């Protein structure tokens, strides 16, 4: 994929917050121009559906105003149950033939009416000797896409690209770490309500899955078990990340541990399924990111279950910034939340195969 034109502003509309990043080319690296996070009220986004469009519009408008971003062209992404990603093996054919064939393939593999989804695809690999080609088929519910596009347009922004979280995550990883040929790496973005998994073999995505579980479950369990408000539960969860039992009730650490154990169990089942059905070999490294990845117990729990080294993915690893504009310590703390928006901000206005 080749990219031309200006970089788009990356806009990640998550369950708990809106994140915005603007980048500028700076030689081999990228320079961070603007970055901001604006929290959303609870239940603004539920299962990928925009339930409180006014809150999202307000958050976007405030971010662009406060950050003084004049550029209106943005890249968005979606995730969750509204997104279907399938890897297909098809007979080798020309692109115009594939255009016709892909519609039929989509009807066979997508569990929705074709009229309800937007379809796209990419050619991953071609094997001339075997006469076969690997295709990545992507479908997303039109309703979910339209919801996001509408709130963005209401915010006086222009959506150029609607991506998938799993691929924005891959963009951020590729830019900061590159690929090692023959290496299998699992990327995990653990957000408030969705955990995105993307397993790469070299530069090719082999397996993706969105688990509808994340940090919001911890907040809900603290609320339920301790009979406290949402804000109190969030504060307890943040204190729990510091493992300071003097700051939060003793029960909080147990609640966090139980929810994290459940989540890591779901993650491990996905990793096990991939390894049982793939011929690319064992997963050699796991990278985690997303707001919930800041809970220290999560990293150790995944490492213990998978028996694979787990690293925190640093989306700013190869990004330069002005330390008079951005406090390095604050940026480091906020980095896990920035990964998807950074992956989106790497997109440009014109892209061609």
DSSP track, 271-311? HHHHHHH-SS----EEEEESGGGGSHHHHHHHHHHH-S-EE
245 pLDDT more than 80: no
The angle subtended at Cα 27 by Cα 318 and Cα 183, nearest 5°, is 45
The pLDDT assigned to 47 comes to: 79
Q: How many domains does the chain have?
A: 1
The pLDDT assigned to 173 comes to: 97
Annotate 77-109 with DSSP letters as a single string: EE-STTEEEEEEEEE---HHHHHHHHHHHHHHH
Is residue 136 in some structural domain? yes
Name the region of 335 (left: φ>0; alpha: ψ -120 to 50; beta: rest). Answer: alpha
The pLDDT assigned to 197 comes to: 96
Rounded Cα distance, 196 and 273, in Å: 15
Is residue 222 in some structural domain? no
2 pLDDT more than 60: no
Mind listing the pLDDT tens digit for each residue in 252-308? Answer: 889 999 999 999 999 999 999 999 988 887 999 999 999 999 887 899 999 999 999
Is residue 57 in some structural domain? yes
The pLDDT assigned to 351 comes to: 54
326 pLDDT more than 80: yes
Is residue 45 in some structural domain? yes
Mind listing the pLDDT tens digit for each residue in 94-120? Answer: 888 998 899 898 888 888 888 999 999
Is residue 225 in some structural domain? no
Rounded Cα distance, 78 and 174, in Å: 20
Higher pLDDT, residue 173 or 236: 173
Is residue 226 in some structural domain? no
Residue-number span of the structural domain to which 92 is assigned: 2-217+254-352
Annotate 137-160 with DSSP letters as a single string: EEEEEHHHHHHHHHHHHHTT-EEE
Span 59-76, mean pLDDT? 97
The pLDDT assigned to 128 comes to: 86
The pLDDT assigned to 111 comes to: 86
The pLDDT assigned to 124 comes to: 86
In this structure, the number of other CB atoms found within 10 A of the CB of residue 251 comes to 13
The pLDDT assigned to 125 comes to: 85
Q: What is the CATH number of the domain that holds 258?
A: 3.30.420.40
Average pLDDT along the chain: 90
Rounded Cα distance, 11 and 7, in Å: 12
Is residue 230 in some structural domain? no
Is residue 236 in some structural domain? no
The pLDDT assigned to 272 comes to: 94
């Amino acid at each position: 994929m080749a990219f031309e034109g200006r970089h788009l502003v990356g806009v990640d509309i998550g369950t708990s917050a809106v994140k915005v990043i603007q980048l500028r080319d700076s030689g081999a690296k990228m320079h961070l121009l603007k970055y901001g996070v604006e929290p959303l009220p609870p239940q603004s986004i539920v299962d990928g559906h925009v339930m409180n469009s006014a809150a999202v519009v307000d958050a976007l408008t405030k971010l662009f105003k406060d950050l003084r971003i004049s550029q209106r062209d943005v890249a968005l992404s979606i995730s969750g149950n509204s997104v279907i990603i399938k890897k297909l093996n098809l007979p080798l054919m020309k692109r115009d033939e594939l255009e016709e064939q892909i519609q039929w393939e989509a009807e066979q593999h997508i569990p929705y009416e074709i009229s309800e989804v937007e379809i796209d695809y990419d050619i991953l690999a071609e094997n001339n000797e075997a006469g076969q080609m690997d295709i990545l088929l992507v479908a997303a519910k039109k309703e979910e896409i339209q919801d996001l596009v509408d709130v963005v347009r209401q915010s006086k922004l222009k959506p150029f690209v609607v991506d998938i979280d799993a691929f924005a995550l891959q963009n951020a990883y590729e830019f900061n770490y590159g690929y090692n040929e023959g290496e299998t790496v699992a990327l995990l973005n653990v957000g408030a309500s969705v955990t995105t998994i993307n397993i790469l073999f070299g530069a090719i995505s082999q397996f993706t899955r969105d688990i509808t579980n994340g940090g919001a479950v911890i907040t809900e369990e603290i609320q339920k078990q301790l009979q406290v408000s949402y804000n109190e539960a969030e504060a307890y969860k943040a204190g729990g990340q510091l493992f300071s039992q003097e700051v939060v009730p003793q029960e909080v650490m147990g609640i966090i541990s139980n929810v994290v154990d459940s989540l890591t169990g779901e993650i491990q089942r996905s990793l096990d399924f991939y390894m049982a059905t793939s011929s690319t070999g064992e997963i050699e490294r796991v990278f985690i990111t997303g707001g919930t990845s800041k809970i220290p117990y999560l990293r150790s729990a995944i490492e213990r279950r998978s028996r694979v080294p787990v690293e925190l993915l640093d989306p700013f690893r190869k990004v330069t910034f002005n330390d008079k504009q951005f406090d390095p310590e604050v940026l480091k703390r906020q980095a896990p939340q920035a990964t998807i928006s950074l992956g989106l901000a790497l997109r440009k206005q014109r892209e061609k195969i």
